Each structure stands twice: as structure tokens, then as C-alpha cells.
Structure 1
């Protein structure tokens, strides 16, 4: 029983950390959305690095929580968390944090979906622009695949400023 109590406290600590990291992820995804809406892609590199770091930490905590649930004889999922709440006499803090974590996860999923839509719109716009510049005819294209002009200026005479 003492081991289960220790695992329960460990799970409570993990869930609290997950809430903190997931809150940071939601804020970062909102920042990413602003950057995408403002069309300032130069700011994305820092955001992507920070997002990857947060996701790595969140995944590690989730694995630790699931492992602690298993060690307590509970299933490593929402059902296991609900059984944990019923076994603890003071589960309101853990349960509140769990609900916050679920809500934050849902918000992060929606923000990520929105950002994916924005990225797709940028990609379509860029492809449309390239199609216009290339006139959908490679032989009449002004720009090549390397982005360099295909206009032949080898007439031997350039523009002479006088």
C-alpha cells in the first residue's frame, strides 16, 4: 500500500509537470499561429526548436506516468487515472490537474490543426505563384528549377550606360 501511495504521489507530480509543459505548448502554438498569420517565417525556426523540446519532455512525462500507473496495478490510460482518483482520499488536486491536462491537450490539438491549415494555405499560395512564374510551360518558363532566370542575355551586348 505504501508503494501505491508513493506511486500516486509520483503520478500527481508528473501530471502537475505535464500541465505546466502543455500550457507552455499551447502558448507556443498560439505564437506560431501569429507568425503564420503575419507571414513572418523567419521567426518559425526558434518556435519549431522550442516546440520539439517541449514535445520531447511531454512524451517523457507521459511515459513516466504510464509506467507509474502500471506499477500501481492500473491501466496506463484514462481509465487507470480514474481508478487512481477513486482510490485516493485526497484526489481533487490530481483530478483537477488531470482535467486541465485533458483540456490543454485538446486545445493544443486544435491549435496544431489550425496551424497546419495555415501552413497548407501558404504552400498552395507559393505553388500558385511558382506556376504563374513558370507559366505552367517549362519551355517558356522565365525561371528554372534553380530559381535562376532562363532569359538568354548572351547577345553580346549589355545595357550601356553613358
Structure 2
């Protein structure tokens, strides 16, 4: 395990998440399925890299955690390692934000699909409003199919 390998894996994750976002926007289901498989492989590799890094830190006498990594970086005084670690952290922040936005897009698609399914099944749609007395009132709109 090297920083370069881990950095490359994180860069790959960011690239996959960006492609996933584009596929979610264009609703390209086949591409999304492919990207989910790619993303799973990269996440598995990242997990293996972090476990390897934790074992390496423990052998050096540091905590097998992110705080142990921070302690090692302070003690080693290697600018290249510190720069690589900083870049990795910045990419992880970007990946986290991309993943958050992708989750919102997935939720939007899910909600739209649920509404479409409900409309196709002729289910009623209820809306809640507040009356002049401050109490909630429910208004039901029945959906009916037009057969022609």
C-alpha cells in the first residue's frame, strides 16, 4: 500500500461519483448500474488500503486510526507524505459532497416514480391544510382513469 495507490483510488471514486451524477441527471439506468459495480470495487479497495495503513501505523507504534495518521505525519516531517495526505482529505470531502448530491437526485427520482405509480394505480392523493381555526384539515382528491 502506498499513498499514491490510495490517492489514485480516491481520485477514481470522485470520477465515478461525477459520472454517476451525470447519469442520474440524464436518467441513464444502464450506466448507473455499471457505475454502482465500479463504485463498489473502488470502495472495497479503499477499505483495504485504510486497513493496511492502520496496520502499518500500529507497527510503528501509532494509533490505528485517522488520529494516528495525523500523529505520524507530525512526527515524520515528510512534506511529500503531508501533501499527499492533504490531497486525499480534500478529495474525500469532494467525494462526500458528490455522494450527498447523488443521494438527493436518487431520492428525487424515487419520489417521482412513486407519484407516477400512484397515478397509474388510481390512488387518491391527500393534502393537508390548516383551517381558520388553526386545526389541520385533510382534502382528498380522487384520481380516476379516463377510458376512451
Q: Show the counterpart of 1:115.
A: 102
Match of 1:106 among 68, 82, 93: 93
**Secondary structure at the counterpart of residue 93 of structure 1:** helix
> Which stretches in structure 1 are left out of the alignment for 5+ residues?
1-12, 143-150, 152-162
Q: Residues 74-153 of structure 1: matches in 2 within 5 Å?
A: 74-89=62-77, 91-136=78-123
More strand by share: 2
Structure 1 residues 131 and 82: alpha-carbon distance in aligned structure 2, compared to 1, 3 A threshold: same
Match of 1:38 among 22, 26, 33: 26
Give distance in 2, aligned partners of 1:70 and 1:141. Answer: 66
Give distance in 2, aligned partners of 1:55 and 1:122. Answer: 24
TM-score, structure 1 length as denominator? 0.73
CA RMSD of aligned residues (A): 1.8
> Which stretches in structure 2 are left out of the alignment for 5+ residues?
125-142
Structure 1 or 2, whichever has the larger Rg, is 1
TM-score, structure 2 length as denominator? 0.80
1:84-122 C-alpha deviation (Å, 9 max, x unpaired): 123324x11111111111111111111111101100100
Q: Show the counterpart of 2:134.
A: none
Q: Show the counterpart of 1:58.
A: 46
Greater RCO, CA 8 A, separation 6+: 1
Structure 1 residues 141 and 98: alpha-carbon distance in aligned structure 2, compared to 1, 3 A threshold: same
Give distance in 2, aligned partners of 1:42 and 1:87. Answer: 48
Give distance in 1, aligned partners of 2:105 and 2:82. Answer: 35
1:125-159 C-alpha deviation (Å, 9 max, x unpaired): 0000011111116xx987xxxxxxxx9xxxxxxxx
